[in-house]
């Protein structure tokens, strides 16, 4: 039972202890901190009880370089089921709950879909009472905070911890040491509670922060060598300072390698230490208590590192250690593109992780001997060697050293089995599974779209759908109900107005809420084809200039994306889109017809408003390149049709909601496979009406790239190619005309407001498959072999 008076006393006490201030004299950041700490008091006993309960059985451990958590306060209140009580308590104290929710910084612990998936998975594990711990890095500055200067992306440090983090606890008693050949650093764990939805279960996300053994050399300081006195401190802290440091030079590559090994070694040491404290049977049964999921290749060094710990520190034989490792690890593949599969130069491992490298070499030789005994040809062996071309192939190491490999969408998994990883599938068909990604309905609907949540609950006469997503299928019976569809359209308009107000506050741009909100938000990468969207907008603009009488529904194109600091071509695409926006948004002749907005610093909190307000979900990656996508699911859940290719989870979205309720275009995987070697993009460039004119704006001076040549480089990439890829490597020009036709279908369909609402409603009603609860249930049963403890409350 929630005690309002006790909670209010806790807020006031925390303000006094932390800041030495009364409630009246505390600023908004301090109030947020005090409220958050008071909520932590509410859950600490349940958290401790959950950890004690989990110690008695098998646990899964999710190792990920990213956990894109989003704001904690609102989500935690939702999951605890005390939103109303907290709001009333804060009102008594004169605190506006909306104000303190907005004050919270998004935790800088991730960048894209990989990290957000990990966050959704943790939410589902806690909600389903599953014994799962997340392990990662506590980045001090995240990836970066994005702003635009004259249309260029400019990166700034994302100091998300500047006001402290009330949601994490430093666990000094669990510090471990991580050794590199050139330094030894402390790994300091910070634990964050992951609160399950309406359960007393509280799981843990443990993040490691790198610190020096000695922060300060007094003698050097006394000799007035001030920089040297703190050199070791800075060097150690660099390891957990920034997510994905630029690795275009060797120094950056070293830092990224150290990041990966640091958090993996610390996590495994933590597991081994706790195992020894509670299990007496010896390490032969280690895998009966541990299931370790490797989220992509970043943590794959865990395989040789566990071998090192078991052999060098626990005295096991190679054979026993390998048997344990194989039974412990499972690997999730998140990419189809061969060039994105992680490889490491042998020299880096030899220099900084020499013992780990020795173990990898032995694993490699063992694997080759195994293939020889099975009479595999040299041709096949050359394709799957863990060490080749002076590189360590981390995906190959992961597949060989894991008992299960999974893709993240049906199409993705089939491509892995039949194309990209075919040689491996032929070797180990029993290892491969599919686990279509999912999203948590708590954050992406119940929290971010309360009005739609209320409507669904009223129609279903229960809140059970929030944890039993299959119940949403029952909403289909309202697809012809005019009253319900009009309510849906009213809610969508409300969310559009809220987004418009937020964009005006953040960007200073007014947008037309009566226009179609056409939204593409995701990491900036060439295969995601933001450039295709941009070229279409340029073409539409020129057609409107030629014929102002063209009848179109007003359209607002919204982009949100960050480009990796070293990804020059992606940054050029951002600049190009911003130049298009500058031209269009200042042209009175098209005012009220089309508008372009590139929101700055796209993150989870921005996403919560964008997904719920969207009319069109742009999922236009080249077929066969997007492993799954989860943004497509968030749009669908909020009743937004997909404008996209048959790629990733789009395929399953169409299977669930019907092709007639979405807008599919473009070449499919099998077609691209046929034409890829004979593809000539200039044929489309010359023949497709309007395409040449749009593409030529990249090099004819229409838009200003500041003399950098970046636009011309984009132009050449489309028509000439480069030394590392063919011309138009992602088939933008091939798909342009079909994309334009799909956009015209959107325009026609949107005019029939009830017909459009029906498409939206059918998507919403069929989103149930894409709950992360379903995904995690499959992981738990089919990969991890874990279940909720019967004795857990």
Tell me if residue 355 is catalytic: no
Pairing of the two strands 432-434 and 329-332: unpaired
Tell me if residue 462 is catalytic: no
* Of 138, 186, 334, 412, catalytic: 334
Instruction: Report yes or no: 287 and 402 within 8 Å, Cβ to Cβ.
Output: no
Q: For the residues 502-507, what does the mean pLDDT come to?
A: 97
* Of 258, 634, 740, 759, catalytic: 634
- The strand ranges marked E within 1-123 are 59-63
Distances 248 to 111, 143, 245, 558, 624 between C-alpha atoms, Å: 19, 16, 9, 30, 27
* Of 138, 487, 528, 759, catalytic: 528
The predicted-structure confidence for 553-572, as pLDDT tens digits, reads as follows 999 999 999 999 999 999 99
Please name which of 749, 767, 754 lies closest in space to residue 479, comparing C-alpha atoms: 754
Equal fold, 55-70+106-437+777-784 vs 515-751: yes
Task: Return d(Cα 183, Cα 313) in angstroms, integer.
Answer: 19
Pairing of the two strands 202-212 and 176-179: unpaired
Would you tell me how many other CB atoms lie within 10 Å of the CB of residue 270?
Answer: 21
Tell me if residue 431 is catalytic: no
The predicted-structure confidence for 119-151, as pLDDT tens digits, reads as follows 999 999 999 999 999 999 999 998 899 999 999
Please name which of 410, 487, 407 lies closest in space to residue 451, comparing C-alpha atoms: 487
Helix axes 4-19, 28-54, angle to 10 degrees: 110
Q: Residue 793 has what pLDDT?
A: 43
Task: Return d(Cα 292, Cα 290) in angstroms, integer.
Answer: 6
Q: Is the pLDDT of residue 227 over 90?
A: no
Task: Return d(Cα 361, Cα 367) in angstroms, integer.
Answer: 10
Q: Which fold has domain 55-70+106-437+777-784?
A: Rossmann fold (3.40.50)
Q: For the residues 539-553, what does the mean pLDDT come to?
A: 97
* Portion of the chain with pLDDT greater than 70, in percent: 99
The DSSP bridge partners found for residue 237 are none
Q: Residue 219 has what pLDDT?
A: 82
Q: Residue 791 has what pLDDT?
A: 55
Q: For the residues 241-267, what does the mean pLDDT come to?
A: 94
Q: Where does residue 296 rank: exposed (0-12), middle (13-18), buried (19+ CB within 10 A)?
A: buried
The predicted-structure confidence for 759-781, as pLDDT tens digits, reads as follows 999 999 999 999 999 999 999 99
Q: Where are the domains of the chain?
A: 55-70+106-437+777-784, 515-751
Task: Return d(Cα 104, Cα 166) in angstroms, integer.
Answer: 10
Tell me if residue 528 is catalytic: yes
The predicted-structure confidence for 46-89, as pLDDT tens digits, reads as follows 999 999 999 999 999 999 999 999 999 999 999 999 999 999 99
Q: Is the pLDDT of residue 531 over 80?
A: yes
Would you tell me how many other CB atoms lie within 10 Å of the CB of residue 120?
Answer: 28
Instruction: Report yes or no: 209 and 174 within 8 Å, Cβ to Cβ.
Output: no
The predicted-structure confidence for 619-656, as pLDDT tens digits, reads as follows 999 999 999 999 999 999 999 999 999 999 999 999 99
When pLDDT is cut at 50, 70 and 90, the band that residue 225 belongs to is confident
* Of 328, 332, 630, 697, catalytic: 630
Mention every residue, 6+ apart, whose C-beta is less than 8 A from residue 604.
68, 69, 70, 71, 106, 116
The predicted-structure confidence for 720-758, as pLDDT tens digits, reads as follows 998 888 999 999 999 999 999 999 999 999 999 999 999
Q: Residue 281 has what pLDDT?
A: 84
* Of 435, 522, 529, 609, catalytic: 522
- pTM beyond 0.85, yes or no: yes
Q: Residue 156 has what pLDDT?
A: 95
Task: Return d(Cα 118, Cα 218) in angstroms, integer.
Answer: 42
Residue of higher predicted confidence among 340 and 364 = 364
Q: Give me the helices (H) in 55-112, please.
A: 73-80, 83-93, 97-103
What CATH number has the domain spanning 515-751? 3.40.50.2000
* Of 140, 206, 487, 523, catalytic: 523
Q: For the residues 425-443, what does the mean pLDDT come to?
A: 97
Q: For the residues 180-192, what does the mean pLDDT come to?
A: 97
Please name which of 257, 238, 267, 260 lies closest in space to residue 176, comparing C-alpha atoms: 267
Instruction: Report yes or no: 765 and 476 within 8 Å, Cβ to Cβ.
Output: yes
Give the range among 24-28, 57-61, 228-232 with minimum mean pLDDT.
228-232
Distances 155 to 105, 571, 710 between C-alpha atoms, Å: 17, 11, 18
Would you tell me how many other CB atoms lie within 10 Å of the CB of residue 138?
Answer: 25
Q: For the residues 274-299, what does the mean pLDDT come to?
A: 94
When pLDDT is cut at 50, 70 and 90, the band that residue 696 belongs to is very high
Burial 610-638 (b: 16+ CB within 10 A, else e): bbbbbbbbbbbbbbbbbbbbbbbbbbbbb
Pairing of the two strands 176-179 and 642-644: unpaired
Mention every residue, 6+ apart, whose C-beta is less than 8 A from residue 152.
571, 574, 575, 578, 706
> In whole numbers, what is the pLDDT of the chain averaged over residues?
96
Q: Is the pLDDT of residue 230 over 80?
A: no
When pLDDT is cut at 50, 70 and 90, the band that residue 337 belongs to is confident
Q: For the residues 468-477, what does the mean pLDDT come to?
A: 98
């Amino acid at each position: 039972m929630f005690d309002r008076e006790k909670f209010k006393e806790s807020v006031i006490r925390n303000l006094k202890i932390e800041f030495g201030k009364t409630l009246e004299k505390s600023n908004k950041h301090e109030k947020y901190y005090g409220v958050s700490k008071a909520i932590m008091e509410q859950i600490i006993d349940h958290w401790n009880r959950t950890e004690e309960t989990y110690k008695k059985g098998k646990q899964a451990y999710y190792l990920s370089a990213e956990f894109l958590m989003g704001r904690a306060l609102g989500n935690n209140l939702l999951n605890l089921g005390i939103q109303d009580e907290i709001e009333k308590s804060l009102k008594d104290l004169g605190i506006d709950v909306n104000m303190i929710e907005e004050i919270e910084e998004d935790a800088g612990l991730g960048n894209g879909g990989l990290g957000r998936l990990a966050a959704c998975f943790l939410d589902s594990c806690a909600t389903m009472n599953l014994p799962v711990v997340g392990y990662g890095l506590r980045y001090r500055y995240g990836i970066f905070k994005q702003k635009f200067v004259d249309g260029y992306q400019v990166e700034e440090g994302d100091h998300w911890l500047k006001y402290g983090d009330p949601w994490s606890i430093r666990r000094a008693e669990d510090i471990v040491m991580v050794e590199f050949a050139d330094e030894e650093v402390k790994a300091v764990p910070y634990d964050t509670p992951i609160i399950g939805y309406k359960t007393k279960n509280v799981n843990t996300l443990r993040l490691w922060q790198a610190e020096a053994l000695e922060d300060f050399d007094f003698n050097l300081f006394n000799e007035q060598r001030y920089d040297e006195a703190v050199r070791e401190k800075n060097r150690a802290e660099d390891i957990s300072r920034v997510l994905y440091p630029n690795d275009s030079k060797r120094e950056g590559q070293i830092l990224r390698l150290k990041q990966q090994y640091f958090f993996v070694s610390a996590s495994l040491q933590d597991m081994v230490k706790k195992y020894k404290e509670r299990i007496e049977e010896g390490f032969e049964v280690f895998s009966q208590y541990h299931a370790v999921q490797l989220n992509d290749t970043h943590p794959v060094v865990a395989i040789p590192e566990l071998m090192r710990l078991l052999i060098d520190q626990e005295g096991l034989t190679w054979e026993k250690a390998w048997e344990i490792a194989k039974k412990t690890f499972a690997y999730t593949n998140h990419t189809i593109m061969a060039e994105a599969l992680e490889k490491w130069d042998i020299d880096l491992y030899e220099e900084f992780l020499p013992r780990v490298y020795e173990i990898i070499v032995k694993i490699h030789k063992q694997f080759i001997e195994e293939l020889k005994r099975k009479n595999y040809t040299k041709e096949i062996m050359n394709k799957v060697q863990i060490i080749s071309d002076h590189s360590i192939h981390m995906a190959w190491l992961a597949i060989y050293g894991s008992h299960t490999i999974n893709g993240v969408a049906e199409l993705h998994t089939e491509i892995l089995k039949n194309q990209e990883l075919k040689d491996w599938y032929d070797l180990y068909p029993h290892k491969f599974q599919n686990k279509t990604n999912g999203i948590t309905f708590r954050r992406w609907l119940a929290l971010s779209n309360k009005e739609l949540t209320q409507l669904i609950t009223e129609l279903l006469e229960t809140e059970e759908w929030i944890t039993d997503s299959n119940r949403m299928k029952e909403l289909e019976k309202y697809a012809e109900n005019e009253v319900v569809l009009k309510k849906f359209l009213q809610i969508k308009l409300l969310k559009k107005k809220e987004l418009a107000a937020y964009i005006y506050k953040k960007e200073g741009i007014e947008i037309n809420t009566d226009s179609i909100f056409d939204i593409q938000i995701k990491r900036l990468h060439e295969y995601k084809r933001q450039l295709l969207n941009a070229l279409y907008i340029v073409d539409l603009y020129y057609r409107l200039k030629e014929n102002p009488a063209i009848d179109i529904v007003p359209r607002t194109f919204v982009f949100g994306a960050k480009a990796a600091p070293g990804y020059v071509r992606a940054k050029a695409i951002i600049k190009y889109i911003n130049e298009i926006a500058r031209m269009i948004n200042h042209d009175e002749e098209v005012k009220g017809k089309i508008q372009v907005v590139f929101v700055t610093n796209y993150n989870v909190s921005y996403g919560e408003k964008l997904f719920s307000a969207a009319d069109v979900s742009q999922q236009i990656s080249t077929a066969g390149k997007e492993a799954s996508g989860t943004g497509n699911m968030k749009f669908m859940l909020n009743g937004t049709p997909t404008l996209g290719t048959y790629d990733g989870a789009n395929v399953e979205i169409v299977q669930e909601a019907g092709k007639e309720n979405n807008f599919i275009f473009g070449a499919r995987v099998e077609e691209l496979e046929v034409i890829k070697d004979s593809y000539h993009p200039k044929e489309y460039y010359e023949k497709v009406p309007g395409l040449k004119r749009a593409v030529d704006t990249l090099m004819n001076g229409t838009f200003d790239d500041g003399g950098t040549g970046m636009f011309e480089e984009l132009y050449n990439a489309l028509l000439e190619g480069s030394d590392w890829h063919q011309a138009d490597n992602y088939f933008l020009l091939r798909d342009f005309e079909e994309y334009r036709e799909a956009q015209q279908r959107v325009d026609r369909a949107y005019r029939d407001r009830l017909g459009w609402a029906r498409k939206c409603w059918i998507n919403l009603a069929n989103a149930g498959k894409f709950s992360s609860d379903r995904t995690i249930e499959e992981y738990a049963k089919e990969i991890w072999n874990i279940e909720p403890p019967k004795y857990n409350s």
